[in-house]
């Protein structure tokens, strides 16, 4: 049995008095695509943000390639926060793609991709830009390197954002509803880049409403509802009839988005 890329044990997340995630147990196998699906407000984005340590879980443990992320259990069995340097080191294995792209508006596409190579990895400018250009080429945007985000379409911006995350050579890529902010005709180009990435064997965790993508690309699907994982498994298993009524209800809402094979 190989080490899972991410393992989540008994994770709980509370905002004030409301509990948004409850008793989450999840294993993300290395080299596979895992999708988190579920209705709005089910907690899937919060779960993903916990995996990126953008939100701190209230309880429970997360390990990334066997190393604790953020918190660990000390010898007395208490949950203890890890030092910042440690958190940053573990987190450097994770790349994140946001719903709103979050490209820095005052830098070109190339500048966005090269930024962390220069400031964090201290690569010389020429080398950083060469590597950045290689990433942009990979997502098919080498000819847009000098463009600012405001000059790019939503789909192009999201591809630049993927290149920006990939430039740091993460072992795991997290996608938070990467196509939700896009016009329908622009989702394809982003999903294609993600498909290519999956083919290369990248470990990916994708929060998405693109059921078609989940059904065809993912090896594992987890269905979240009201802060809990209702069930998880391979797509064939999850989508097989008869389905759980909550899933049926959810599919009714989203099925017109190009997942006709599931009807």
- Distance between CA atoms of residues 146 and 263, nearest Å: 44
The three-state secondary structure class of 215 is: helix
- Helix residue ranges per DSSP H, 13-139: 44-51, 84-91, 109-119, 125-138
Nearer to other proteins (CB atom), residue 30 or residue 52: 52
Q: How far is the CB of 152 from other proteins (least distance, A)?
A: 11
Q: How far is the CB of 13 from other proteins (least distance, A)?
A: 17
In whole angstroms, the minimum distance from the beta carbon of 177 to other proteins comes to 13
Whichever of 44 and 49 has its CB closer to other proteins, that residue is 49
Q: Pick between residue 145 and residue 238 the one whose CB is nearest to other proteins.
A: 145
Start-to-end CA distance of the chain, whole Å, equals 35
Q: Is residue 135 within 8 Å of 163, Cβ to Cβ?
A: yes
Q: What strand order describes the sheet that includes 228-233?
A: 94-97, 172-176, 203-207, 33-37, 220-225, 228-233
Coil, helix or strand at residue 62? strand
Please tell me whether residue 69 binds other proteins under the rule CB under 8 A.
no
Considering only 105, 184, 236, 245, the residue that binds other proteins (CB under 8 A) is: 105
User: Please, which of residues 118-157 interact with other proteins by CB under 8 A?
Assistant: 119-120, 148-150
Q: Which is nearer to other proteins, 132 or 211 (CB)?
A: 132
Q: Summarize as ranges the residues that interact with other proteins (CB under 8 A).
A: 52, 54, 88, 91-92, 94-96, 98, 100, 102-108, 115-116, 119-120, 148-150, 161, 164-165, 168
């Amino acid at each position: 049995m190989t080490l899972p890329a991410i393992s989540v044990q008994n994770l709980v997340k509370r905002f004030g008095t409301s509990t948004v995630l409850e008793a989450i147990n999840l294993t993300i196998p290395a080299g596979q695509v895992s999708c988190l699906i579920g209705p709005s407000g089910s907690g899937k984005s919060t779960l993903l943000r916990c995996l990126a340590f953008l939100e701190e879980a209230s309880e429970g443990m997360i390990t990334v390639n066997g190393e604790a992320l953020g918190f660990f259990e000390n010898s007395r069995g208490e949950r203890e926060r890890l030092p910042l340097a440690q958190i940053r080191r573990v987190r450097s294995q994770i790349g994140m793609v946001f719903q709103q792209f979050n490209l820095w508006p005052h830098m070109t596409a190339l500048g966005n991709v090269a930024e962390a190579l220069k400031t964090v990895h201290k690569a010389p400018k020429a080398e950083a830009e060469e590597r950045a250009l290689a990433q942009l080429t990979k997502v098919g945007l080498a000819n847009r390197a000098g463009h600012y985000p405001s000059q790019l379409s939503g789909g192009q911006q999201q591809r630049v954002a993927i290149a920006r995350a990939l430039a740091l050579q993460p072992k795991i890529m997290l996608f938070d509803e990467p196509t939700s902010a896009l016009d329908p005709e622009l989702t394809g180009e982003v999903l294609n880049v993600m498909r290519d990435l999956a083919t290369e064997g990248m470990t990916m965790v994708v929060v998405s409403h693109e059921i078609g993508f989940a059904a065809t690309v993912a090896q594992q699907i987890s269905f979240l509802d009201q802060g809990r994982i209702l069930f998880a498994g391979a797509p064939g298993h999850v989508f097989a009839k008869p389905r759980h009524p909550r899933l049926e209800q959810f599919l009714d809402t989203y099925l017109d988005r190009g997942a006709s094979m599931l009807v």
